[in-house]
């Protein structure tokens, strides 16, 4: 069982760290420092058109949604992502947290920081960024939200960055490091998280536990 005591996250990062950001509302207390080369939100391995229903959840093994012991000084409701562990935690207080298994960014696309949930969307649309279209010109320029959309059933947008917590039509990728910096959950799990996490929620992203 993972026990984690987090230290305060540094704030006031320079505006130059936001070159890869979208024009979303500036609600974050402090912006993360993503890799400068990252300008995309999907990975080569994603499969547009593959159907995975909203109900798919991880129900067995370490990545199944479950309540766990979790030490943190953060207030209840805070979302804490531990990329190295492949887990997302929602702090519940009293030394406990609700834990979800996630897929994370592959090497070179991982990042850490402090943001807020600035926007939420059900069955979000997908527009592949130019960098991805250069590598995969056969991809659609736009895909409406739905079961075949690589963004999955729900999306929580992180501050003013290009990154988000979202579902996936590839639930078998949970626990792997394959994305381009976003955090993916099985559709059933991201739908559950979506209902629990309101706009403005603080999200802390770390590569590994801090003792």
What are the strands of the beta sheet with 79-82, ordered from one edge? 66-69, 96-101, 87-93, 79-82, 202-206, 113-122, 154-158, 164-166, 183-184
- Position 141 scores a pLDDT of 87
Known catalytic residues?
Answer: 166, 182
Please give the residue range of the domain that contains residue 52.
20-206
Specify the DSSP class assigned to residue 49.
T
- Residue 49 confidence (pLDDT): 47
Please, what are the averages of pLDDT over each run of 10 residues along the chain (211 residues)? Answer: 40 29 33 40 48 71 96 96 95 96 83 94 85 78 84 93 89 87 93 97 83 47
Residue 89 belongs to a domain: yes
Is 10 inside a domain boundary? no
Position 108 scores a pLDDT of 65
pLDDT at 68: 97
Rounded CA-CA distance 77/66 in Å is 15
| Residues in Cβ contact with 60 at an 8 Å cutoff, skipping those fewer than 6 apart | none
Does residue 15 sit within a domain?
no
Two structure tokens written together for 68: 């766990």
Residue with tokens 């706009």: 199
Cβ–Cβ < 8 Å for 96, 182: no
Residue 59 tokens, joined: 């129900």
Confidence at residue 110, expressed as pLDDT on a 0 to 100 scale: 80
**pLDDT value of position 40:** 39
User: What is the domain count for the chain?
Assistant: 1
Of the candidates 100, 120, 128, which has an alpha carbon nearest to the alpha carbon of residue 41?
128
* Summary mean pLDDT of the chain: 77
169 in a structural domain? yes
* CATH classification of the domain holding 140: 2.40.440.10
Task: Indicate whether 186 belongs to any domain.
Answer: yes
* Residue 135, H or E segment: helix 130-135
What pLDDT is recorded for position 148? Answer: 79
Query: Can you tell me the distance from the alpha carbon of 8 to that of 87, in angstroms, rounded to the nearest whole number?
Result: 19
Residue 111, domain member (yes or no): yes
Q: Are 178 and 102 in contact (CB under 8 A)?
A: no
Residue 152 CA to residue 146 CA, distance in Å, equals 7
Q: Is 87 domain-assigned? A: yes
How many angstroms separate the CA atoms of 150 and 144, rounded? Answer: 10
- Residue 8 within a domain: no
């Amino acid at each position: 069982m993972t026990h984690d005591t987090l230290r305060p996250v540094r704030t006031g990062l320079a505006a130059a760290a936001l070159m890869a950001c979208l024009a979303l509302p500036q609600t974050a207390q402090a912006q993360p420092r993503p890799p400068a080369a990252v300008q995309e939100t999907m990975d080569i391995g994603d499969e547009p058109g593959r159907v995975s229903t909203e109900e798919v959840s991880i129900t067995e093994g370490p990545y199944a949604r479950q309540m766990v012991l979790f030490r943190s000084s953060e207030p209840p409701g805070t979302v804490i992502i531990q990329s190295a562990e492949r887990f997302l935690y929602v702090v519940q207080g009293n030394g406990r947290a609700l834990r979800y298994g996630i897929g994370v960014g592959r090497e070179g696309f991982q990042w850490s920081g402090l943001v807020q949930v600035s926007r939420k969307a059900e069955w979000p649309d997908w527009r592949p960024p130019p960098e991805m279209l250069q590598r995969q010109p056969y991809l659609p320029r736009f895909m409406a939200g739905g079961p075949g959309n690589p963004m999955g059933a729900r999306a929580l947008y992180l501050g003013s960055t290009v990154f988000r917590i979202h579902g996936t039509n590839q639930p078998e990728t949970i626990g792997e490091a394959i994305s381009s910096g976003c955090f993916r959950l099985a559709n059933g799990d991201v739908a559950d998280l979506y209902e629990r996490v309101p706009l403005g929620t603080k999200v802390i992203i770390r590569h590994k536990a801090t003792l």
